[in-house]
């Protein structure tokens, strides 16, 4: 399973796994909070998990209130219109945040430092 996830969904440019591929196996190369689910499920090797966790705390995905569902850099990002288009989702924050902190390598200080900004 890990090999399949890595070979199909890993995007080196984003430093995250993509949310989807099309029928021609082309990646939808946009950063989302979805890779946090892979962390939570333990589906990634530790080295990759650490990189993904760090990517989730980047400014385009981390709002200070939680993870945005869609990167601020995405053309479709619309903070005020929809959770699916970038609003920081309240549900699931604890689960995804805990998974990110567990793999981030900075411990709980990473979240507390980022949350304070």
The tally of CA atoms less than 13 A away on the side-chain side of residue 13 is 6
For the chain, the domains span 2-115
- pLDDT value at position 69? 84
The whole-number average pLDDT for the span 94-109 is 55
Overall pTM > 0.75? no
Q: Is the pLDDT of residue 79 over 50?
A: yes
* Most confident by average pLDDT, 28-32, 63-67, 71-75: 28-32
What dihedral do alpha carbons 24, 38, 83, 110 form, nearest 10°? -130
Using alpha carbons only, what angle is made at residue 67 by residues 42 and 55, rounded to the nearest 5 degrees? 60
The whole-number average pLDDT for the span 29-51 is 91
Q: Is the pLDDT of residue 25 over 70?
A: yes
Q: Kind of pairing, strands 10-11 and 16-17? A: antiparallel
Confidence of residue 90 (pLDDT cuts 50, 70, 90): low
Least confident of 26-40, 44-58, 95-109: 95-109
């Amino acid at each position: 399973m890990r090999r399949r996830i890595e070979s199909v969904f890993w995007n080196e440019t984003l430093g995250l796994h993509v949310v989807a591929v099309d029928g021609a196996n082309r990646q939808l190369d946009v950063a989302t909070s979805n890779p946090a689910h892979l962390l939570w499920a333990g589906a990634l090797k530790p080295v990759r998990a650490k990189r993904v966790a760090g990517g989730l705390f980047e400014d385009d995905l981390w709002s200070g209130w939680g993870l945005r569902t869609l990167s601020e850099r995405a053309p479709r990002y619309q903070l005020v219109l929809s959770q699916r288009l970038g609003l920081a989702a309240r549900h699931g924050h604890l689960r995804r945040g805990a998974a990110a902190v567990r793999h981030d390598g900075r411990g709980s200080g990473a979240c507390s430092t980022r949350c304070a900004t």
